[in-house]
Chains A and B, each alone.
Chain A
Amino acid sequence: MTRRQGLIAILWLWSAALFVLPLIIVLKISVAETRLGVPPYTAFFDAAHHVTANTENYSRLFTDSLYVKAYLGSLKTAFIATLIALLMGYPMAYAIARAPAHRRDLWLLLVMLPFWTSFLVRIYAWIGLLRPSGIINTVLQALGIIDAPLHMLNTNGAVYLGIVYTYLPFMVLPLYARLEKLDASLLEAARDLGATPWRAFCAVTLPLSMPGIVAGCLLVFIPAVGEFVIPELLGGPNTLMIGRVLWNEFFTNRDWPVASAVTAVLLILLVAPIVWVQRLQARGDLAP
Chain B
Amino acid sequence: MSAGAPATLRVADVTKCFGAVTAVDAVSLDVRANEFLCLLGPSGCGKTTLLRMMAGFEAPDSGRVFIGDDDMTATPPHARPVNMMFQSYALFPHMSVEGNVAFGLKQEGLRGEALNARVKEALAVVELEGLGARKPHQLSGGQRQRVALARCLAKRPRVLLLDEPLAALDKHLRERTQRELTALRHRLGISFVVVTHDQDEAMAMADRVAVMDRGKILQIAPPRELYERPANRAVAAFFGDVNIWEGEVVAGNKVHCAALQIAFPVTDLLPVGSRVEAAVRPEQIAFTSIDALLTGVVSDVVYRGTASTYFVRHAGGAVIRVARQNSGPETFQRGDTVGLSWPTSAVRVLTS
> Which chain B residues border A191 with CB–CB below 8 Å?
56-57, 76-78
Q: Interface code B59-93, partner A: CB below 8 Å = 1, 0 otherwise?
A: 00000000000000000111100011010101111
Contact of B90 with A188 in the complex, beta carbons under 8 Å: yes
> Among the listed B83, B84, B94, which residue makes an inter-chain contact with A288, where contact means beta carbons less than 8 Å apart?
B94
> Do A188 and B107 touch across chains, with their CB atoms under 8 A apart?
no
Chain B residue nearest to A288 in the complex (CB): B94
Interface assignment of A189: CB less than 8 Å from any CB of chain B: yes
B151 at the interface (CB under 8 A from A): yes
Q: Write the A180-221 contact mask toward B (1 if CB under 8 angstroms, else 0).
A: 000101101111111110011001100110000000000000
A196 and B109 CA atoms in complex are apart in Å by: 13
List chain A residues, Cβ under 8 A from B84.
188-189, 192
A204 proximity list for chain B (CB < 8 A): 92
Given A193-B103, A194-B108, A194-B155: A208 in contact with B57 (beta carbons within 8 A): no
Write out, one digit per residue, whether chain B residues 95-135 have a CB within 8 A of any chain A CB (1) or not (0).
00000000110011000000000000000000000000001
Cα–Cα distance between A38 and B78 once the two chains are bound (Å): 74
For A192, list chain B residues within 8 Å (CB). 55-57, 77-78, 83-84
Partner of B94, one of A189, A193, A199, A207: A207
In this complex, the member of A186, A192, A200 whose beta carbon has the largest number of chain B beta carbons within 10 angstroms is A192
In the assembled complex, the CB of B275 is this many whole angstroms from the nearest CB of chain A, namely 48
Bound form: Cα–Cα A190–B88 in Å: 14
Question: DSSP majority for the B interface?
Answer: loop
Q: How far is the CB of A203 from chain B (nearest CB, A)?
A: 7
Contacts of B83 in A (CB 8 A): 192-193
The 8 Å CB contact of A195, one of B56, B90, B107, is B107
B90 interface neighbour in A189, A194, A207, A288, Cβ under 8 Å: A189
By the criterion CB–CB under 8 Å, are A183 and B88 in contact? yes
**Within the assembled complex, what's the spacing in Å between the Cα atoms of A28 and B57?**
65
Which chain A residues border B92 with CB–CB below 8 Å? Answer: 186, 189-190, 203-204
Known: A193-B83, A195-B107. A185 touches B88 (CB 8 A): yes
**Residue numbers in A under 8 Å from B103 (CB-CB):** 190, 193, 195, 203
CB distance from A179 to the nearest CB of B (A): 15
Closest CB-CB distance, A208 to chain B, in whole Å? Answer: 6
Cα distance, A194 to B157, chains bound together (Å):
11
A186 CB contacts on chain B under 8 angstroms: 90, 92-93
The distance from the CB of B38 to the nearest CB of chain A, in whole angstroms, is 20
Of A183, A185, A191, A194, most B-chain CB atoms within 10 Å: A194
Let me know if B90 and A183 touch, CB within 8 A.
yes
B residues near A200, Cβ cutoff 8 Å: 78
Give A226 to B129 CA distance when docked, in angstroms.
54
**Is the Cβ of A185 less than 8 Å from the Cβ of B77?**
no
User: Is A189 touching B93 in the complex (CB atoms < 8 A)?
Assistant: no
0 or 1 for each of B233-248: is its CB under 8 Å from A? (1 = yes)? 0000000000000000
List A contacts of B93 (CB < 8 A). 186, 208, 288
Within 8 A of B (CB), among A136-190: 183, 185-186, 188-190
Flag if B155 contacts A185 (CB, 8 Å).
no
Mark contacts of A41-68 with chain B using CB atoms, 8 A cut-off: 1 yes-contact digit, 0 otherwise: 0000000000000000000000000000
CA distance A200 to B92 in the complex (A): 11
- Please give the distance in Å from A204's CB to the nearest CB on chain B: 6
Q: Bound complex: CA of A185 vs CA of B56, how far in Å? A: 13
Chain A: CB-nearest residue to B93? A288
Assembly CA distance A207 to B108 (angstroms): 21
Considering only CB atoms, which chain B residue lies closest to A284 in the complex?
B135
Q: In the complex, which of the residues B78, B104, B135 contacts A196, with contact meaning CB atoms closer than 8 Å? A: B78
Please determine whether B107 and A199 come into contact, CB atoms closer than 8 angstroms: yes
* A185 surroundings in chain B (CB, below 8 A): 86, 88, 90
A188 to B79, CA, bound (A): 13
Q: Is A189 within 8 A of B86, CB to CB?
A: yes
Min C-beta distance of B63 to chain A, whole Å: 21
Which residues of B sit under 8 angstroms from A208, Cβ to Cβ?
93-94
Nearest CB of chain A from residue B193's CB, rounded to whole Å: 14
Give bound CA distance, A131 to B94, whole Å.
49
B79: chain A residues at CB < 8 Å are 194
Q: Is the CB of A194 within 8 A of B107?
A: yes
> Which residues on A sit within 8 Å (CB–CB) of B77?
188, 191-192
Residues on the B chain within 8 Å of A183, using CB? 88, 90
Which residues on A sit within 8 Å (CB–CB) of B135? Answer: 288
With the chains together, A215 CA to B84 CA distance in Å? 34
Known: A193-B107, A194-B104, A199-B107. A188 touches B86 (CB 8 A): yes
- Of chain B, the residue at the smallest CB distance from A195 is B107
Which chain B residues border A195 with CB–CB below 8 Å?
Answer: 78, 103, 107
How far in angstroms is the closest Cβ of chain A from B301?
45
B91 surroundings in chain A (CB, below 8 A): 189
> Which of A188, A190, A193, A207: most chain B CB closer than 10 A?
A193
Specify which chain B residues have a CB less than 8 angstroms from the CB of A188 in the assembled complex. 57, 77, 84, 86, 90
Given contacts A195-B107, A208-B93, 12 further A-B pairs with CB under 8 A are A183-B90, A188-B57, A188-B77, A188-B90, A189-B86, A189-B90, A191-B76, A192-B55, A192-B57, A207-B94, A208-B94, A288-B94
* 12 A/B residue pairs, CB under 8 Å, sorted by A: A183-B90, A185-B86, A186-B93, A188-B90, A189-B84, A192-B77, A193-B83, A193-B103, A194-B104, A203-B92, A207-B94, A288-B135
Chain B interface residues (CB < 8 Å from chain A)? 55-57, 76-79, 83-84, 86, 88, 90-94, 103-104, 107-108, 135, 151, 155
